[in-house]
Copies of this chain bind each other. A is one copy, B any other.
Amino acid sequence: MTNRSDTQDEEIITAALLVIGDEILSGRTKDKNIGTIAEHLNTVGIRLREVRIVADEASEIIAAVNDLRKDNTYLFTTGGIGPTHDDITADCVADAVGAKLNVDQRAVDLMRARRPDMDLNEARLRMARIPEGAELVENAVSGAPGFMVENVIVMAGVPSIMQSMLETVTPRLKTGKKMLSTTLEVKKPEGAVAGPLGRAATAFPDVSMGSYPYYKQGNFGTNLVLRSIDEERLSQALAALKTELQNAGLLDAES
């Protein structure tokens, strides 16, 4: 009899990320969040399947939210939840999920608790507008929270605040079986190892195989990275790849 407590672990949990902001598209600001989020999700067992960056345009944000949230377990967004006129992410997400957007007393209380002396003017109160039915996503850096509504998680664009929100929300998310990976370094150029690698990849279609050539300090070679959620298949694929490389004279037998 199968132990059913494993079920959640076997499920594949996917995510998309929507980065919102003219400043990224104009090159003025270099995004620092995509890499952080990609690495974090990989670690916790959520597969990031797509990232989009769009401008501060309501029609484009709403279209992207609808498109990305329907095909993935979760959609994360970063950016556009500050106090200024071009911070329209909350409006767009509320529109996409069909929820009303109002100043939320829980958010006001968090902001006041953090900065009792702050003038909660109209602009700052924009940051307390949360779609009805959303859970707040607190952060330890500034008072203003992000939120999670349905399967959409809305986070700040400032990296330190985003990271705090990501840590806050992660325990609330379903996570799947973790992706395992193993790396084989071969001191040969990518064009030489591509044939054996391709044969091993064909034999193990369920194991992802990537090659990453490097050139540093006069040495060159290729890191071959194998990834799978199944430990046994991963080690079988690694053995098969080594055999292919050895047969092609690209790897010593003892490697």
- Residues on A close to B: CB < 8 A? 19, 22-31, 34-43, 48-56, 60, 82-86, 118-119, 121-124, 126-127, 179, 181, 190-192, 194-195, 197-198, 201-202, 208-213, 225, 227
Contacts and interface: CB of A to CB of B under 8 A. Distances in A.
B85 A227 contact: no
A26 B48 contact: yes
A53, A60, A192, A201: residue with the most chain B Cβ atoms closer than 10 Å: A53
Nearest to A118: B191
Determine chain A's interface SS by DSSP, over half rule: mixed
Contacts of A48: 25-27
B52 A52 contact: yes
Contacts of A197: 84-85
A52 to B, nearest CB: 5
Contacts of A126: 194
Contacts of A122: 195
A156 to B, nearest CB: 11
B31 A35 contact: yes
A124 B191 contact: yes
